[in-house]
Amino acid sequence: MKKVLVLCSVAALLLACATNPFTGKKTMAFVPDSSLFASSFQQYSTFIKENKVVTGTSDAQMVQRVGAKIKSASEQWLKANGYSNYLKDYKWEYKLVQDNTVNAWCMPGGKIVVYTGLMKIAQGEAGLATVMGHEVAHALANHGQQRMSAGLLQQLVGAGVAVGTSEMNMSKETQELAMGAYGAGSNVFGMMPFSRKHESEADRIGLILMAIAGYNPDNATSFWQRMSAQSGSKTPELLSTHPSDQTRIANIKKLIPEAKAEAAKFGKKY
């Protein structure tokens, strides 16, 4: 009976799919946007209350300006491709937060934070547009929703492995070894490649958005080169949730012509 319940749960999870307009692919959507966005907005509100938001400076104004242009680019692309209502539940905000960490993020539903530590690497609007376009792309491609769904799937399959090893009358030690092997294997060969794929998708979509927003996507190469130069020791790509710097930069160079071609449809020539 346990095995049947696990298999039924996995089947239901696999059937809960949605087609994303930016990738054209069916993706796992076990967690609905209504629940995801509500949780995201609550977490964002808590974060903003607990951290120092920078306002009135030239950098803060730049974050607002670039964010508005990326948002507009998203709306233009979606409208042109027949998805005018896709962003109806998004509640966009762009905040610069005092933190020396070289990072930025966009939560599901359009809540964007840029840390002050990133600004020295951005070196202007084009660099900032590169990273903000990338982070917004994660939200537009529903990567957060997919990661949560994949995590649930990983847990369900893990439950299946536990049930299977139990019914095979394995010793406790053998069962623990099997579960350990599943956990390591599902991360290295499942979740991590899944995450690296998301990073590459966000690079592609982000390049298109920055180009439509009016920023030459050629600038993305130099931005990621600066990011690579400032980072310390690197985790091997196989064991990382992100592509290696070399892989990412090489892929971006290949994707730039597509971004320029998409931007040309909206009157932007580079």
Catalytic residue numbers, as ranges: 135
Report the alpha-carbon distance of residue 201 to residue 173 in Å, rounded: 41
167, 43 in Cβ contact below 8 A?
A: no
127, 121 in Cβ contact below 8 A?
A: yes
**Phi, psi dihedrals of residue 28, rounded to the nearest 5°:** -65, 130
77, 210 in Cβ contact below 8 A?
A: no
Report the alpha-carbon distance of residue 259 to residue 238 in Å, rounded: 28
Report the alpha-carbon distance of residue 72 to residue 81 in Å, rounded: 14
Q: Which two tokens stand for residue 192?
A: 């991590």
Sheet holding 104-107, edge to edge: 53-54, 93-97, 111-115, 104-107
C-alpha distances in Å from residue 158, one per residue of 6, 163, 205: 10, 9, 33
Q: Which two tokens stand for residue 208?
A: 């298109």
Please identify which residue in the block is written with the tokens 């508005």. 68
212, 262 in Cβ contact below 8 A?
A: yes
Report the alpha-carbon distance of residue 155 to residue 142 in Å, rounded: 20
C-alpha angle 17-20-23 in degrees, rounded to nearest 5: 125
